[in-house]
Amino acid sequence: MNVAVLGSGGREHAICWALAKSESVDALFAVPGNGGTAAVAENVVGLDPCDGEAVCGFARDREIDLGVNGPEAPLGAGVADELREAGIAVFGPDAQGAALEGSKTYSKRFMEDNDLPTASYGSFSDKQGAIAFARNMGAPIVIKADGLAAGKGVMVCEELEDAERAIEECFGGAFGEAGSTVVVEECLTGPECSLLAFVTNGQAHCMATAQDHKRAFNGDMGPNTGGMGVYSPVPIVTDEEHAAMVDIMSRAAAATARAPFEHDYRGVLYGGFMLTPQGPKLLEFNARFGDPETQVILPRLESDLAQVLYAAAMGDSDSIQLDWSPSWAVCVVLASEGYPGAYETGKVICGIDEAEALDGVTVFHAGTALNSDGELVTAGGRVLNVVALGSTFEEARERAYEACDKINFEGKQLRTDIGAKAAAGRSSWN
Ligand code: AMP
Ligand code: GLY
């Protein structure tokens, strides 16, 4: 097969890395890719993954057999639909299915209609209605911009006045069109856990659990980021909770396929859960692989990823068979100084080879580039994803940090407590 992966982050490097291991892949392209994908795929520099017409043209020219969607933006832009109309198999839901991520109101209605446990909520397109509902619900309370806001549109408010300010900000245009509808939601408590599933033809094939660390600094302090570290599987999840999440994902997958939704859902459905005292409840759906979750999930997948994605893209659920390594995986993100705020780029990176020489260590590139001297330099907020496998959770954590020590660039910023809470046990969330 000739395969094209849309996107340019650490997630796409991990997807390309896993596809490159497959014997069924002849040619592999990253659209547009990054400094890391260049080592395992051909980067298609200058091709915008959200430009459906250009992507279809490229796919025809290069006789692409399978398109694999990475980030959310191409899905919302309908690129998967266009490729499918052009007769090319695509891993990624249609634009309607992607609304499960793209609109929180749509997603909450989907959960409600299908009895999927989630926080109680109200959805408003007027400020006064949202404020009245929030006052009635009381703090703590969560305010969410309805549309895509690069992970920044969710405000967990301890006080009612913060909630009112957040509502004002949304309707005041802080998130553009994404904030013109606002979801006001009950605040849930408990550890978070993600469960992603390959979904096709109404069937869910669940992957391993993973847990992200969204805050910038140690101890879950500082602003939210795209994710500073992640591990898989999640050791504090009970068997009962796991079974409940699998059941929720299966029911969600079945609902995508039947009326009134009838999505052409052939892609990842990502369930973001909170493990509440009443059992797992959905915080959100994403319509794609998680970033950085993918960087710890795929290194543990022993099945051929190309075959899994192709079967999903063809609606062939019966051919999907997932085998997992018993190892633990921990990923630590190396970021640029200042991230998630302003940061400088162009800093020379060294030590990746030394890090990857350690047992079980793989470094996925998120924001890197080659400068005019051919040196690898920083080119984004999140720069590298340092992933280590280990036979125990502790071993994986230690290896990941040992590898992080070997890599250097000016302004290197990382959290030193990835997985610390989980290692200390469930009581650390109380
Ligand atoms: P989301 O983008 O919906 O996953 O929200 C981002 C983050 O906000 C989540 O990972 C949670 O930490 C937090 N969050 C979202 N919804 C809630 C909720 N109902 N209760 C408590 N925290 C929430
Ligand atoms: N790591 C969270 C996400 O991919 O949305």
- Residue whose pair of structure tokens reads 């809470």 in the numeric block: 421
User: pLDDT value at position 226?
Assistant: 87
Q: Which two tokens stand for residue 275?
A: 């493990």
> Does residue 152 have its Cβ closer than 6 Å to ligand 1?
no
Q: Is the CB of 295 under 6 A from ligand 2?
A: no
Which strand (E) or helix (H) includes residue 210?
Answer: strand 203-212
- Pair type for strands 66-69 and 2-7: parallel
Q: Give the Å distance between the CA of 241 and the centre of ligand 1.
A: 18
Residue 150 pLDDT > 80: no
Q: Of all residues in the chain, what percent are helix, strand and coil, respectively (each to 5)?
A: 35, 30, 35
What pLDDT is recorded for position 317?
97
Atom of ligand 1 nearest to the CA of 214: 10
- Among all bound ligands, the one having the nearest atom to the CA of 149 is 1
Mean pLDDT of 244-263: 95
Q: Give the β-pairing of 121-124 and 182-186.
A: antiparallel
Percent of the chain with pLDDT over 70: 100
Q: Which ligand is nearest to the CA of 154?
A: 1
Distance 340 CA to ligand 2 centre (A): 15
Query: CB–CB of 178/147 below 8 Å?
Result: yes
pLDDT at 333: 98
Angle between helices 104-113 and 239-257 (to 10 degrees): 100
pLDDT exceeds cutoff 80 at 152: no
Ligand 1 centroid–CA 421 distance in Å is 18
Q: Please report where in the chains the tokens 């998680």 appear, as a residue.
A: 290
- Best residue among 12, 15, 194 to mutate for probing ligand 2, ranked by most atoms within 8 Å of CB: 194
- Does any ligand 1 atom lie closer than 6 A to the CB of residue 119? yes
CB 140 within 8 A of CB 317: no
CATH topology match: 2-94 vs 192-319? no
pLDDT at residue 360 greater than cutoff 90:
yes
Nearest atom in ligand 2 to the alpha carbon of residue 151 is 5
Distances (CA, A) of 55 to 90, 267, 346: 12, 18, 29
Q: Is the distance from the beta carbon of residue 290 to the nearest atom of ligand 2 less than 6 Å?
A: yes
Kindly list the domain boundaries of the chain, sorted by start residue: 2-94, 126-180, 192-319, 328-429
Residue to probe by mutation, ligand 1, list 101, 108, 274, 281, most atoms within 8 Å of CB: 274
The answer, yes or no, to whether any atom of ligand 2 lies below 6 A from the CB of 390, is no
pLDDT digits (tens, 9 = 90+) for 13-32: 999 999 999 999 999 999 99
The model's pLDDT over 69-94, given as tens digits with 9 standing for 90+, comes to 999 999 999 999 999 999 999 999 99
Domain 126-180 belongs to what topology? Dna Ligase; domain 1 (3.30.1490)
Residue-wise pLDDT for 200-252, tens only, equals: 999 999 999 999 999 999 999 998 888 999 999 999 999 999 999 999 999 99
How many angstroms separate the CA atoms of 263 and 242, rounded? Answer: 26
Among all bound ligands, the one having the nearest atom to the CA of 289 is 2
Grade residue 253 by pLDDT with cuts at 50, 70 and 90: very high
299: pLDDT confidence band, cut at 50, 70 and 90? very high
pTM above 0.75, yes or no: yes
**Ligand 2 atom with minimal separation from the 292 CA:** 1
Helices (H), 262-379: 293-297, 305-313, 352-356
pLDDT 10s digits, 95-119: 999 999 999 999 999 999 999 999 9
**Residue 66 carries which DSSP code?**
E
Q: Which fold has domain 328-429?
A: Glycinamide Ribonucleotide Synthetase; Chain A, domain 4 (3.90.600)
Q: Which residue, by CA, sits nearest to atom 5 of ligand 2?
A: 290
φ, ψ dihedrals at 312, nearest 5°: -60, -40
2-94: CATH number: 3.40.50.20
For the domain 192-319, what is the CATH code?
3.30.470.20
Q: Which atom of ligand 2 is nearest to the CA of 290?
A: 4
63 Cα to the center of ligand 2, angstroms: 31
What is the per-residue pLDDT for 64? 98
pLDDT digits (tens, 9 = 90+) for 173-198: 888 888 889 999 999 999 999 999 99
Asked whether 358 and 402 are in contact (CB, 8 A), the reply is yes
